[in-house]
Amino acid sequence: MPEAKRARSSELALSSKPVLPHIQSGRLRAIAVSGKERSSLLPTVPTVAESGHAGFDATFFETLMAPAGLPAPVVEKIQRDVRAALQATSIRSRLAEMDLRVEGNSSQDALTRSREDFAKSGTIAQKTKLQLD
């Protein structure tokens, strides 16, 4: 964000919530959102896919993980408790304010999604010859 404030960057990838005031004031212009759906905070801003890059989806997601081998009853209890918490109106409202959407997937869904995203990121890193210094 500091680079954007100093107008040294012509393009940035930023989370919508922190930059929303800057977009609303006109200091920044949103040209697309990276997810497969439009942002509830920026409903007039198209997705990258809608902007001509079919299939583009860089939806951010968070997954609650636990150590491998955790007993199934413990996993099931955690899942039940987290699902119950995510149904609370106060939690859903707060997440919506941050432009986050609750999905509450199963462990298998989360594993599949993580593997797909890791594979996609790995492919991008290889194609762009991305290296860590």
Instruction: Give the residue among 47, 54, 106, 37 at the shortest CA–CA distance from 75.
Output: 106
Residues 33-44, mean pLDDT to the nearest whole number: 90
Instruction: Name which residue leads in pLDDT, 81 or 105.
Output: 81
Report d(CA 79, CA 104) in Å as an integer: 9
The per-residue pLDDT for 11 is: 55
Measured distance between the N- and C-terminal CA atoms of the chain, rounded to whole angstroms: 22
For the entire predicted model, the pTM comes to 0.68
Q: How many helices (H) and strands (E) does the chain have?
A: 5, 0
Token reading at 90: 């106060």
- Residue 89, pLDDT score: 93
Say yes or no to pLDDT of 105 above 80: no
Specify the pLDDT at position 1. Answer: 47
Q: Give, to the nearest 10 degrees, the angle between helix 72-87 and helix 89-97.
A: 80
